[in-house]
Structure 1
Amino acid sequence: MAASNPMGIDKEQAFGMAEIEMEHKVELFNRLTQTCFKKCFEKRYKDSELNMGEISCIDRCVFKYWQVNNLIGQLLAGGGRPSM
């Protein structure tokens, strides 16, 4: 049995950890959406579709947000200075 569960985590603990991780991912996604929406879109909508400037802005914003999130994760995990 130890081979199938090397960390000694039972099902309840595994589900609890997965639930917490999912909550964090949803919170991260919501913050990313709010941040990039505020940065890339005007308050009033002119068109029903995104223009090239908005598409480019949202692409850069999401990329930078994930990059910074990963950098912070590496620093908090004790990995020292992450490489860029």
Structure 2
Amino acid sequence: MAANNVADKIGKEQILEIAKSEIELKVDLFNRLTKVCFDKCIEKRYKESELNMGENNCIDRCVAKYWQVTNLVGQLLGPSQPSM
């Protein structure tokens, strides 16, 4: 019984660490996506309080391409990663 509880606790701790790591990676990905697309699509001199049509389109395309590339890289690197 006691050995089972220890194994459950270790498993839960590992799962928690994996979840924390995954959240950190997602936040980092979102921050990089935001920076790249903002720098690429938004003019440095703000003229209006809202995005214009060109900026909206640019951001839409930038985010779509960023996610596409991220997914493709994940698929290509996924099989080569050691399984846990």
TM norm structure 1? 0.81
Flag the structure with more relative contact order, 1 or 2, with Cα contacts below 8 A and sequence separation at least 6. Answer: 2
> Following TM superposition, by how much is the alpha carbon of 1:77 offset from its aligned partner in structure 2, in angstroms?
1.1
Runs of 4+ in 1 over 4 A off after TM superposition: none
Instruction: Indicate yes or no: 2:80 matched with 1:65.
Output: no
Instruction: Give % identity.
Output: 67
> Following TM superposition, by how much is the alpha carbon of 1:78 offset from its aligned partner in structure 2, in angstroms?
2.5
> Following TM superposition, by how much is the alpha carbon of 1:19 offset from its aligned partner in structure 2, in angstroms?
0.1
TM norm structure 2? 0.81
Aligned to 2:25: 24
- 1:1-84 → structure 2 map (5 Å cutoff): 10-78=11-79
Output one character per residue of 1:22-66: Cα deviation in whole Å (capped at 9) or x when no partner: 000000000000000000011110000111000000000000000
Structure with more of its chain in helix, by fraction: 2
Aligned AA (1:13):
Q
Q: Which runs of 5+ in 2 are unaligned?
A: 1-7
Q: Which runs of 5+ in 1 are unaligned?
A: 1-7, 80-84
Aligned AA (2:12):
K
Give the paired residue count: 72
Q: For 2:52 and 2:25, how far apart are their aligned partners in 1?
A: 31
